[in-house]
Amino acid sequence: MYVSMKGILKRANEGHYAVMAINCFNLETARAVIDAAQELRAPIIIDLLQDHLTSHLDARFLTNPIIKMAEEASVEVAINLDHGHNVAIVKQCLEAGFSSVMMDASSYPYKENVAITKKMVEFAETYNASVEAEVGNIGAVTGENYTNQAMYTDPKQAIDFANQTGIDALAISYGSSHGDYPGGFTPAFQFDIVREIKEATNMPLVLHGGSGCGEENILESIRLGINKINVGSDFMKAQVDKIKTNLEETPTINYVDLISDTITAGKEVVQYYIQLSGSTGKSL
């Protein structure tokens, strides 16, 4: 069932669980994610990052086959443009059939973020697509900087943003970062930010950079109102590790088997996160 995020996140909000959104960039990664969700009867979101669509495989060649997979899936599958920074590309994705987009104008001054996002919400209505946006700025793991408190979401601003734009889901920054944390490091989350925004908006909130956050942080985030959790790094890493092991153990392995095995490895990570998110059995 190919759906937008509207229904699956509305039910997650009412039912106090989260839906997993996993970064995919080719057919094999999408296959792994959909297979994982089907086996657990979980709604799922395929996140296609704008950067991957411009650097790896253009949306024009990728979207249709993934939509086909989603339509034929036995569970609800949404396709979401992740971190759409460029208005023209976000519009192209909607025209190409994405059921959901993230309009990420969070690097602009606040008023511009509001204006750009509001316009995109109006544009997306024509397609009945859902829109996610971001206030504050969820950074990336770089060097010794794992989180930057200066980029945390200001709850008052987030509440105003939600009211002004009419978005379907709001990504907030309260301690997570994109990418891989060094071994043994668990970020400290500022849960008050989640609590305050949820109480005032009662809308679906999104945790980006879910990889490596730790089970306790994720469970507490869900308890306080996070309904969508983005995971990319852990999913990709499992697949790279599988390739490394296969090449070490069977240097003569053929390419088809090598890549097929990454689907199985990726699927296991997705199923771990689905179980953690509480979305098992929640698909229509």
Instruction: Identify which of residues 208 and 228 has a Cβ nearer to Zn ion in the complex.
Output: 208
Annotated binding site for Zn(2+): 83, 104, 134, 178, 208
Helix (H) / strand (E) element for 281: namely: none
Q: Tell me the number of residues near Zn ion by CB under 5 A.
A: 1
Question: Can you list the positions of beta strands (E) in 165-219?
Answer: 169-172, 205-207
Does the active-site annotation cover 82?
Answer: yes
By CB atoms closer than 10 A (0-12, 13-18, 19+), residue 216 is: exposed
Q: Closest Cα partner for 78 from 138, 127, 123, 126? A: 127
Stretch that binds Zn ion, among 1-9, 146-154, 205-213, 248-256 (CB under 5 A): 205-213
**If binding is defined by CB under 5 A, does position 52 make contact with Zn ion?**
no
Question: Can you list the positions of beta strands (E) in the chain?
Answer: 19-24, 44-49, 77-84, 100-103, 130-135, 169-172, 205-207, 226-231
Annotated binding site: 83, 104, 134, 178, 208
> Among 47, 51, 58, 82, which one carries the catalytic annotation?
82
Minimum distance from residue 158 beta carbon to Zn ion (Å): 16
Fill in the per-residue mask, 152 to 191: x = in contact with Zn ion (CB under 5 A), - = not in contact: ----------------------------------------
Q: Cα(42)–Cα(280) distance, rounded to whole angstroms?
A: 5
Using CB positions, name the residue nearest to Zn ion.
Answer: 208
Single out the residue of 6, 11, 118, 208 in contact with Zn ion (rule: CB under 5 A).
Answer: 208
Q: Cα(150)–Cα(62) distance, rounded to whole angstroms?
A: 36
Contact positions vs Zn ion (CB under 5 A): 208
Query: Which residues are known catalytic residues?
Result: 82
